A and B are shown apart, each in its own frame.
Chain A
Amino acid sequence: MPEALFLEMYRAMLLIRLFEEQARDLFMKNMMRGATHSYIGEEAIAVGVCAALDRADTITSTHRGHGHCLAKGGDPRQMMAELLGRATGYCKGKGGSMHIADLDLGILGANGIVGGGISLAAGAAFAAKYRGDGAVCACFFGDGAINQGSFHETANMAGLWKLPLIYVCERNLFAEFSYSDRYFADQDLTKRAIPFGFPGVEIDGNDVLAVYQAAQEAIARARRGEGPTLMVANSYRIMGHTIGDPLTYRVKGEVDQWQDSLHDPILRFRRYLLAEQGFSESRLAELESEVSTEIDAAVQFALGSPEPELFTLWEDVLGGNPDD
C-alpha cells in the first residue's frame, strides 16, 4: 500500500474526529438548531470504505452522516456552514446536519430517516448496472436500521439482480436510545445476507485497514457483476444518539475502554503507523496540525458566512428543466 494512502486515511479519520468535536461544541453552545448525531469512534468505517471507492462511485448515508460525507471528499467548510444554517452551506441552510449531500462527489445525501438511504442506495446501484458504467454504491446504515423493511426488501432485489451494492452495517451497538442487541432475534447480523444469496462478512470496524481490505473485496465483487456484500463493521458509538443525550441507558464506564489506545480507531491507526509503517512522530504531528488548521478554517468560514435571504424560503421546492 502506498505511503500516501496511509497518510490519507489517517488524515481523513482525524478530519472527521475534529469536525465532530467542533460540531459537538457548537451544538452545546446553542449555535446549532435541531439535533446532531456524532460519528466519533466510527471514523475507520467511513474512511476504510471510501478509500476503496472511486470518485464515480456513490454512497448513501444516515442521520449520523458527517463522517461519510467527509470520507467521500465532502468540503468541511460547506458542511460546517450547513450545520450553522448558513447560505454558504451545502444545502444553503435548508438541510442542516441530517441532509448534507454532494451529488458531484457521489454523495447521495445524509438521511433523517433510519434506513431511509438504503433503498436509495439500491436505486443508485441499479442505475450503475443500467448504464453499465462499472460504478458501485456503498450504503452506510446502522445496526438499528438493519431491522427496517427497506433493508430486507432491497437486499432481496439486490441479491436477485446482482446489483453493485455494498451494504455497510455500522454495528455501533446502539439503536437510538437502546442497546441494539435487544432487538435482534439472532445476534449474528452477517446471517441477514444469507437468504438473499450474497456474502455477509464481519469485520473490526475500528481497524481502518481491515475495513479497507473488506471493502476492496466487496467492491471488486460488485464490479465483477457478482452482486452485493453485507459488511458488518463492529464499532462503538462513543457519543449518545444525539449530542446532549443523557445516556441513562448505557452501562457506566463502558465507553472508557472504547476510547483507550487499543480501541479508539484513530489512536490504534496512529500506533500502527508509528510502529509498523515507520512514520515519524513529527510527520504525523505535522499532519495533525494541518487538519486542525483546516477544521478551524471551516469553523471560521461558517461563522463568517451570512444567513440565507428570506426569499430563498420559496426556492427549490420544484425546479429543473421541465421541458428540457
Chain B
Amino acid sequence: MTERIIEFREALNEALHEEMERDASVFIMGIDVGQYGGVLKVSKGIYERFGPLRAVDTPISEEGFTGMGVGAALAGLRPVVELMYIDFSCLAMEPIINQAAKARYIFGGKANVPLVIRTQGGGGRGNAAQHSQSLEAVYAHIPGLIVVQPATPKDAKGLLKSAIRNDNPVIFIEHKLLYNTKGPVPEGEYLIPLGVADVKRPGSDVTIVASSRMVLFALNAAEKLAGEGIHAEVLDIRTLKPLDMETIGDSVRKTHRLVIVSEGARSGGFAAEVMARAYEEVFDYLDAPIVRVTAEDVPLPYNERLELAALPSEQKIIDAVHGLF
C-alpha cells in the first residue's frame, strides 16, 4: 500500500471525513468543532462538507452535550463528541461513567452505545494543571469503556475509524504534543483493530511498554540504549482497555525485563495496572523487578523546568533500564 507522510491531525481529519462519507449516522459534536474547524483543527473542512447538522457547534456545556451524545447513540446514531481537553471531561463524567459505560450492561445487553469521545490529553506544553492531565487511568478503571491512546498518525487514523465503527463507548485520547507530528499513513482504506498492541521496535533485552507520546520517548530511549548494546523492545499498547496482555506477556517472556512508561500520575496510574497484570501473569519469566516511569504525584506545574521534572522523559526511561542490568 502506498504511504504518504502526513500530520497526526491530518490523519484524524481523514478518519472523520472517511467515516462520515461511509455512514450517514456519524456526526461530530463539540465546542467549535464546526465552523471554526476545531480548536485542534482535527475537524477542518467537516462543516463545509457535511453541514451544521453533522458538524454540531455546541455551547460550552460539557455535561449537556456529552449526555446528548450518549442519548443520540442510544437512539442509533454514531456521535463523535470532542472534549477539547481531557480535563474538561471531568464536567462530563456523569454521562460518560454513569450512563454511557453502563447502559449495555444494566439494560441486559440490549443497548448499543456507539459513542466516541475524542479528547486531548497530556502535558509538556505549559498549559498548567487544568489543561495537562493524563486521565486515561480514570477511564480505564471504568468497566464498559474502551480507552484508546494512539502514538502515530497511522495508528491515529486506523484506530479512530475502528472506534467510530465500534458499538461501545470509546474514550479516544490524543496527546496535545502529537498533533503536529508526522509519519507515514497508507493511502486508502484501512483499519487498526482496538485492543491490539503493536511492537514499534523489536528487541531482546528489555521490554518497554508505553502509549501515546510516551511511545516516542521510549523509541528515542531505545535508540540510545542500542548504542550501548542494550536492545529494547518497544510495545505501543495503543488500547489501554481492553489491554492486550498477550503481546506484553509474549515480549516479557522473551526479554525477561519490563519497564512501563505512563504519563499519568504515579499513584493508581495505568503503569500500576500493567505492572500488576505482568506480576500476575509472567512473574516467573522476570529477571529483575518491574520498573515504572510515570509523572510525579503533583498537579502539573506551569514553569517549564518544573513541568519537565514532573513528567517522564527519555533520560528517565534510560535510567530505569540501566537499573535493571
Chain A residues in contact with chain B, CB under 8 A? 58, 60, 89-95, 99, 101-103, 108-109, 111-113, 116, 118-130, 137, 149-150, 153-154, 156-157, 160, 315-324
Contact = CB atoms under 8 A, between A and B. Distances in A.
6 contacts: A103-B107, A111-B99, A120-B99, A123-B68, A153-B61, A323-B165
Contacts of A157: 58-59, 61, 64-65, 68
B168 A150 contact: no
Contacts of B66: 119
A320 B167 contact: yes
Interface in B187-236: 191, 193-194
Report which residue of B98, B109, B143, B191 has the largest number of chain A beta carbons within 10 angstroms of its beta carbon: B109
Contact of A318 (B71, B72, B73, B144): B144
B111 interface: yes
B94 A120 contact: no
Nearest to A125: B71
A60 B168 contact: no
Nearest to B111: A103
Interface stretch (B36-44, B74-82, B119-127, B177-185): B74-82
A108 B64 CA distance: 17
B80 to A, nearest CB: 13
B30 interface: no
A317 B104 contact: yes
Contacts of B242: 318
A320 B165 CA distance: 10
A321 B111 contact: no
Contacts, number: 163
Nearest to B72: A123
Nearest to A91: B108
B75 A58 contact: yes
Report which residue of B65, B74, B77, B143 has the largest number of chain A beta carbons within 10 angstroms of its beta carbon: B74
Nearest to A324: B165
Given A120-B70, A130-B72, A323-B162, A149 B110 contact: no
Contacts of B94: 113, 116, 150
A124 B103 CA distance: 14
B99 A116 contact: yes
Given A113-B98, A318-B242, A322-B165, A156 B59 contact: yes
B76 A123 contact: no
B63 interface: yes
A109 B67 contact: no
